Amino acid sequence: MNLQTFILPNGIRLVHLPSESTVSYFSWMINTGSRDEKTNEHGLAHFVEHSIFKGTSKRNATQIINRLETVGGDINAYTTKEETCIYATFLTEYYERTMELISDMVFHSSFPEKEIKKERDIIIDEINSYLDSPSEMIFDDFEDIIFHNHALGKSILGTPEQLENYTRDDLLQFINKNYGTDRMVIGSIGNISFEKLVSYVKKYFGQQSLRSTTHQRQQFLDYRASTHISKKDTHQAHCMIGSISDKLSNGQKMTMGLLNNILGSTNMNSRLSMSLREKHGFAYDVESNFGNYSDAGLMNIYVGTDRKNLAASIQLVHNELKKLREKKLSPTQLRNAKKQLIGQVAIGAENKESLLLAMTKGFMIENKFDDLSILFKKVEKISAEDLQEMAQQIFDEKKISILTYQ
């Protein structure tokens, strides 16, 4: 992977992957998310991300939307617990237009009071839509239980009560505290000379002075396994089962990724799917997920099932976790699991938008991004003993938490 990099004097980093396609991709990402909010700022990181589209010193909301969409491009954004990102897809001839627009949004947003009020109502509606979807809401509630009384456990969206009280000044103060140039990375995939790209970066992102952030994230150190039952007026029962790990090294992340793929992920041939869905017919929705934060890993399993099958479904999940703890994969099982993951990673890399975001985040967190050949070598190095040891650590019965809606 022929990655090209550049660092502006203000600390903003650029990573670029050349491509011969007529379609290009661009992203701006900052190492700031909902876990960087103080108690009285819950939901502000996401509120800022929404409001950044609502006007700048020279554009109103409509002009921002139309700037790329009128030429067939697309611009979007997201907020997670640890990052905020704006990204765009466009025809290569509109590189400069895209970069100027995103720079304008990032550095010159005006946050008009009228637009902020409208966006607040939209986010509250988004929150309410989650309340109507227990299969989505249970993920947030489970993280709140896992990371009890810590910023990692709080919903990215915030609460309607807090959102109602936020003002334009609150948004600006959050940006001033958290949007340091030393936390920003620009990603690019496209058919443009690196010299021209750097000149655009200097023009639109290099005029800002160096601004460092001194905010230190509070590490989560107080995990305690627990079981919770919440009564919900729903047809289905919903269940989350999971645990956390300490901060993982790069090699351990790949081991966890492979373990997750074997156990569930969204694979139809995973152990959970074959047991709960194919063999017993208990669940249409069953999956496992691995989330990796800067100081902790989170593994969770979701099951949606008829109430009468809930207890049996939970027991089947425990049975699969026990197998992973107690029995090593055979050479054939290990070889097949690696082939599946390698194939999925290779196919996923063909999605240039996903590749862009992964590449940008890799440089934001570790100042590097492994190409496919390196990733595949890491997968091939994983042993059956590595997987069993990881399963014993993550799926220790004493460390497992459970949340059910029933």
For 328-384, the pLDDT digits (tens) are 999 999 999 999 999 999 999 999 999 999 999 999 999 999 999 999 999 999 999
Whole-angstrom distance, CA of residue 45 vs CA of residue 174: 8
Residue 13 pLDDT: 98
Any bridge partners for residue 301, and if so which?
Answer: 241, 288
**Global pTM?**
0.94
Asked if 156 and 14 sit in the same domain, the reply is yes
Is 159 among the domain residues? yes
Is 186 among the domain residues? yes
Is 319 among the domain residues? yes
Asked if 122 and 59 sit in the same domain, the reply is yes
Asked if 181 and 238 sit in the same domain, the reply is no
Q: Name the one residue in this structure whose structure tokens are 């909902």.
A: 34
Asked if 64 and 111 sit in the same domain, the reply is yes
Residue 215, pLDDT > 80, answer: no
Asked if 54 and 177 sit in the same domain, the reply is yes
Asked if 180 and 258 sit in the same domain, the reply is no
Instruction: Write the single-letter amino acid at 50.
Output: H
Domains of the chain: total: 2
Asked if 392 and 296 sit in the same domain, the reply is yes
Is 254 among the domain residues? yes
Residue 34, pLDDT > 90, answer: yes
Asked if 177 and 30 sit in the same domain, the reply is yes
Residue 245 pLDDT: 87
Domain range for 66: 4-205
Is 219 among the domain residues? no
Is 166 among the domain residues? yes
Whole-angstrom distance, CA of residue 114 vs CA of residue 322: 55
**The domain that contains 351 carries what CATH number?**
3.30.830.10
Domain boundary among 172, 205, 238: 205
Asked if 37 and 166 sit in the same domain, the reply is yes
Cβ-in-10-Å burial (0-12, 13-18, 19+) of 168 comes to: middle
Is 214 among the domain residues? no
State residue 266 phi and psi, 5-degree precision: -115, 20
Domain boundary among 147, 174, 205: 205
Residue 130 pLDDT: 87
Asked if 293 and 237 sit in the same domain, the reply is yes
Q: For residues 233 and 156, which has the higher predicted lDDT (pLDDT)?
A: 156
In 12-157, which ranges are continuous DSSP H helix?
Answer: 44-51, 61-69, 95-108, 113-131, 134-146
Asked if 185 and 271 sit in the same domain, the reply is no
Asked if 272 and 144 sit in the same domain, the reply is no
Is 97 among the domain residues? yes
